[in-house]
Structure 1
Amino acid sequence: MIEFLKNEGIKDALIQDLLRFRDHFKLDAELTYRIPKPKYLYYGNDVWEQALTALLCGEHLLMVGPKATGKNVLSQNLACAFGRPSWDIPLYINIDAQTLIGSDTFVQGEVRFRRGPVTECAMHGGFGILDEINMAKNEALAVLHATLDFRRIIDIPGYDKITLNGATRFIATMNYGYAGTRELNEALASRFMVIEMPGMSQESLQKLLRREFPTMRPEYIQQFCGLFQDLQRKSENAEISTKAVDLRGLLGSIHLMERGLEANTALQLGLSNKAFDPFERTLIQDVIRLRIPPNMERERLFKES
């Protein structure tokens, strides 16, 4: 990951500070399995430098933006770059404080405290990834106020007060406009540095596709990048919904093509079939056909490895 950051042109001073952080905060050997090994890398020099600077200063991050901007990918990349164990904490409407902090449980006939992911993360100097933070109830997240501000504590009623390990950071992600989302509590939002995640540029998407599919012919890498951006523009202009603007779906479709499935069929499975309205699905298929001709087989897309 350090080599990747150097290749991306991240400032040398930031990389040196990152290495000093890793040297200063040692990690128990039994927690190394929690350090992410990212499948995908996040491309974007400016966002990397903003995130690294904030985390090195001891701040917590809130990544805001529409889907397919790489929020979860960057979260994993950051935990890997800092060499810290991560706890993925998906937030949903029924989450409660006990789920986050912990609760009583019976062990061999005794009542004991079972630590939740936020408590584990705090004690071990981990990176807690709070996914879709604006889906959880405000009263559940209120327990994080003292954890995320200058106090850096978790006060567990009936047990003890835990002070956060110096390496602990929380990274929250947030999408606009999803069903079940709500306005983020102002007091909670003030505890984060907020990064507005930009849409993926053509250059970044090309780097991603080249890395993921090294045998794909360059002309088709450009076509798939163009297809994704065409769908983004259609969505921004309210011609289609965001359902087909799905980077995971595009990558999954190309993996199907690599296995031998015809290209338009694979894109139907990964993109157009995610729109359940027949008219919208037809529009998406028209966009696909403009970029990818019918009966496109594997041999035309990929070089022999």
Structure 2
Amino acid sequence: MNTDSLPQEIQQLVKNNQYKHEHFQDLIRDGGYMPPNEELIIDAITALSMGKNILLKGPTGAGKTKFAETLSSLFQQPMFSVNCSVDLDAESLMGFKTLSYENDKQTIDFVPGPVTNSMKHGTFLYIDEINMAKPETLPLINGVLDYRRTITNPFTNEIITAQEQFGVIAAINEGYIGTVPLNEALKNRFIVIDVPYIQGDQLKQLISNSTKLEDETLINLFVTLSKDLITAVEQGKLSEDAASIRALLDACDLTTFIPPKRAILRAIVDKLDEDREKAFVQNLADTLFD
């Protein structure tokens, strides 16, 4: 993959290092994600343009999936997705065989999975929560992730070599319940990009663009709430779930119809497991919102 995959207008801005150009920022915004700093988008575009795999690492709700979707939009690339879990197996990655009928005769067809589809069509493959998969499952795609870009389909014995535009974006939530550390062989196949929470003016803009909330005073209060939650997470007072930007946006949406404190209760507080954390967040909400 190279920058020729990017739209002409993006190519020119990238070649001229005009990442702060207003038009470039507008194009990023159209994809749905504004990175906290320009280096994130620069480095991601650079790595993907060079045919590297990228691993988006950050807390839950920080916008990693939106980041991947924005990159897909910038490169004008469709994206097939794998959602990892302990149940992930070869069929979930490669596809499966199924019985069908043709002229009243039974046949066996192969239904391609996301890895097969993305390699054959030359599109992006997005592997979400890659460290939720069992360690013995992912080595199947090691050859897909290195210079070979090749895999033997275990169900058909077909040797698949990825088309030129194929690229891999993965996401990881470290320390999350049910996750396991990535082994070094897998981690070394990625360029790692840390994705922090969006804060300040960028979060204000995200709320304005992505939710139904229009009241500027309330938007500013939610930005302050987010900052306080992130600080509490960094100090070890709250789990990462409490500071999820996704949950905050849900609360903003609900606030257009119900009182803010009740919206925060439904979208953030009630998702927490510990009564201590629930009380902490509720206290922050009581302090900020009448």
Q: Place the TM-score, normalised by the shorter chain, in its bin.
A: 0.7 to 0.9
Tell me which of the two structures has the higher relative contact order, counting C-alpha pairs closer than 8 angstroms and 6 or more residues apart: 2
* Number of corresponding residues: 269
Q: Write out per-residue CA displacement over residues 15-41 of structure 1, whole angstroms, 9 at most, x where no aligned residue.
A: 89xxxxxxxxxxxxxxxxxxxx97732
SS at structure 2 position matched to 1:138: coil
Structure 1, unaligned runs of 5 or more: 17-36, 294-305
SS at structure 1 position matched to 2:137: helix
Aligned residue number for residue 80 of structure 1: 73
Aligned residue number for residue 183 of structure 2: 185
Task: Quote the Cα distance in structure 2 between the aligned partners of 1:242 and 1:110.
Answer: 50
Task: Quote the Cα distance in structure 1 between the aligned partners of 2:90 and 2:132.
Answer: 14
Tell me if 1:266 matches 2:258.
no
State the 1:213 CA deviation: 4.7
Matches of residues 82-101 of structure 1 in structure 2 within 5 Å? Answer: 82-101=75-94
Aligned residue number for residue 237 of structure 2: 239
Identity %: 29
1:60–1:169 Cα contact (<8 Å) kept: yes
Tell me if 1:40 matches 2:38.
no
Aligned residue number for residue 63 of structure 1: 56
Q: Write out per-residue CA displacement over residues 207-262 of structure 1, whole angstroms, 9 at most, x where no aligned residue.
A: 2123235862333322211101101111211222223212122111111121x211
State the 1:11 CA deviation: 4.0
State the 1:127 CA deviation: 0.9
1:100–1:118 Cα contact (<8 Å) kept: yes
Amino acid at match of 2:160: I
2:72–2:79 Cα contact (<8 Å) kept: yes
Task: Quote the Cα distance in structure 2 between the aligned partners of 1:95 and 1:213.
Answer: 33
Aligned residue number for residue 136 of structure 1: 133
SS at structure 1 position matched to 2:81: strand
Length-normalised TM-score, structure 1? 0.81
2:213–2:255 Cα contact (<8 Å) kept: no
Tell me if 1:50 matches 2:39.
no
Aligned residue number for residue 109 of structure 2: 112
Task: Quote the Cα distance in structure 1 between the aligned partners of 2:282 and 2:10.
Answer: 37
1:42–1:70 Cα contact (<8 Å) kept: no
Task: Quote the Cα distance in structure 1 between the aligned partners of 2:255 and 2:10.
Answer: 31
Task: Quote the Cα distance in structure 2 between the aligned partners of 1:214 and 1:242.
Answer: 25
Aligned residue number for residue 148 of structure 1: 145
SS at structure 1 position matched to 2:136: helix
Distance 1:288 1:39, change over 3 A: farther
Task: Quote the Cα distance in structure 2 between the aligned partners of 1:279 and 1:74.
Answer: 32
State the 1:52 CA deviation: 0.4
Task: Quote the Cα distance in structure 2 between the aligned partners of 1:185 and 1:89.
Answer: 19
SS at structure 2 position matched to 1:170: strand
Aligned residue number for residue 162 of structure 2: 164
Task: Quote the Cα distance in structure 2 between the aligned partners of 1:139 and 1:279.
Answer: 38
SS at structure 2 position matched to 1:179: coil
State the 1:2 CA deviation: 7.1
The RMSD of aligned alpha carbons is 2.6
Distance 1:116 1:38, change over 3 A: farther
SS at structure 2 position matched to 1:139: coil
SS at structure 2 position matched to 1:171: strand
109-118 vs 146-155, which deviates more?
109-118
Distance 1:13 1:139, change over 3 A: farther
1:2–1:15 Cα contact (<8 Å) kept: no
Runs of 4+ in 1 over 4 A off after TM superposition: 1-6
Q: Write out per-residue CA displacement over residues 30-83 of structure 1, whole angstroms, 9 at most, x where no aligned residue.
A: xxxxxxx97732333110101000001111111111123211110011111111
Task: Quote the Cα distance in structure 1 between the aligned partners of 2:68 and 2:214.
Answer: 28
Distance 1:263 1:178, change over 3 A: same
SS at structure 2 position matched to 1:177: coil
State the 1:120 CA deviation: 0.4
